A and B are shown apart, each in its own frame.
Chain A
């Protein structure tokens, strides 16, 4: 337990100290929120779908979380390259605990990013239905962050340097984000696209967010939670296993 705690604490400290990262990674979601939210707002309204900012905010929170959590998982490559991973790997502690501590830390910092985006969204006019729904949304943020941090860890355990990172962003994170229904409603899509959105785990995360924050559900919270929990458990297990096999 102390291993998990100290590794978690390390992630938190690093996060709080790297102000440039905190603000840098907020730029993209804010741009989406402002440019798309206000830019496409009138069209959305005319199409009879209601207030676009209200629709978009859960999606943009999801975006902040997926980018920041995949990245924090992938940070293991950084540690591999700059030696710190060796320090943890020669310590008399189980590698599963190391992986769990890191993942919990990455998920916590990603959740903080999500909360910051939520607060900013509130400033520009987003309204959550109740305090309870905000609480539920934060729990969901942590669950989604856990899922994608574990995914980042799995990727990192298979890569040796950061050169593959751009590839991962373009061919994994971007598609996951764009196909998740973060930016557009998932109803009435062409069937091929609809099928893709259904195999994207982030779709269930965004749907759960939207439901919690007062939007209309597509899959229903029950299905969303089942998919997220099962997938998170599976990815954490696979991540732990792969992490324990790392040799440097």
Chain B
């Protein structure tokens, strides 16, 4: 069978800046794949191109056999995504957010209602289904987003730093569910993280990206062997150096901060 994600010579330029510089990789069907890199290395940009949010400058992508540029609808039906930043509607209830998603993805009403209950029960939010999302903690929002991303039974689920800010219990719960889904449904899991032990524990294969280029790809053991180190963290540092990266604070970050100030910091 063909690979579920195939990326060839992918390039993305923003003006003079090359965010993604000629990367080639593939992810097999049913694989759990980690995409690691320092801040600003090009991870999110790559995910945006894979998920039809950005057009590549050059190169080709095939997701579930479809090209995001020419067949965005088919691609969009094939994946689910949990973004790095929350993408829920705060003014709607948890259930309404799920319902909205289900309607957008054209899931038939009966199936939709069943799955919503099942998924929300699983992420332990069913008893809070009628609460407005703005009353949720960061962890609860994350869980809801994950439930939402899986509602239409995607072939691939993208998770951009899904466990940031979660306690070990929630993190554990989440990965157990994703691994289970991966084993039973064959859902491909593509995720980014800054927690090396998480990548080592969960991912079957790992790609390390830095300055827009893939510097290494393979299993955790292969990466350790290649860099002659004993932990994935050391391997990562050996591959990407120890220099601390500054990520440019975009307008979005500035706004988010401002909003937090406005709402009196009650957005936990």
Contact = CB atoms under 8 A, between A and B. Distances in A.
Interface of A: 2-3, 6, 10, 13-14, 17-18, 81-93, 160-163, 247-248
Contacts of B90: 82
Given A92-B77, A161-B255, A6 B48 contact: no
Nearest to A15: B91
A87 B141 CA distance: 14
A155 to B, nearest CB: 16
A81 B106 contact: no
Given A81-B255, A91-B104, A247-B53, A10 B73 contact: no
State which size class the interface on B falls in: 35 or more
Interface stretch (B81-89, B123-131, B164-172): B81-89
Given A91-B104, A92-B76, A83 B53 contact: no
Query: 5 shortest A-B CB distances, which residue pairs?
Result: A83-B87, A161-B251, A92-B76, A91-B104, A6-B103
A102 to B, nearest CB: 12
- Mostly helix, strand, loop or mixed at chain B's interface? mixed
A28 to B, nearest CB: 21
Contacts of A83: 83, 85-88
A3 B73 CA distance: 14
B87 A247 contact: no
B19 to A, nearest CB: 13
Nearest to A6: B103
Given A82-B85, A82-B86, 11 more contacts: A6-B104, A81-B256, A82-B255, A83-B83, A87-B87, A87-B88, A87-B89, A160-B251, A161-B252, A163-B251, A248-B48
Contacts of A3: 103-104
B89 A10 contact: yes
A87 B101 contact: yes
Contact of A10 (B51, B83, B85, B100): B100
B23 to A, nearest CB: 19
Given A2-B106, A6-B103, A14-B91, A86 B251 contact: no
Q: Is the interface of A mostly helix, strand, loop or mixed?
A: helix
Interface string B232-268: 0000000000000000000110111001000000000
Contact of B88 (A6, A84, A90, A247): A84
Contacts of B79: 90
B198 interface: no
Contacts of B105: 91-92
Contact of A86 (B53, B77, B91, B132): B53
Which of the listed residues B81, B100, B106 has the most CB atoms from chain A within 10 Å of its own CB? B100
A57 B21 CA distance: 60
A96 to B, nearest CB: 13
Contacts of A18: 91
A89 B53 contact: yes
14 contacts: A6-B100, A10-B89, A81-B251, A82-B85, A83-B83, A83-B86, A83-B87, A87-B83, A87-B101, A90-B52, A90-B79, A92-B73, A92-B77, A161-B252
B252 A81 contact: yes
A248 B52 CA distance: 10
Interface in B52-88: 52-55, 73-74, 76-77, 79, 81, 83, 85-88
A162 B81 CA distance: 26
Most buried by B among A91, A162, A163: A91
A10 B52 contact: no
A87 B158 CA distance: 13
Nearest to A159: B251
A161 B76 CA distance: 27
A85 to B, nearest CB: 8
Nearest to B99: A6
Contacts of B101: 87, 91
Interface string B88-100: 1111100010001
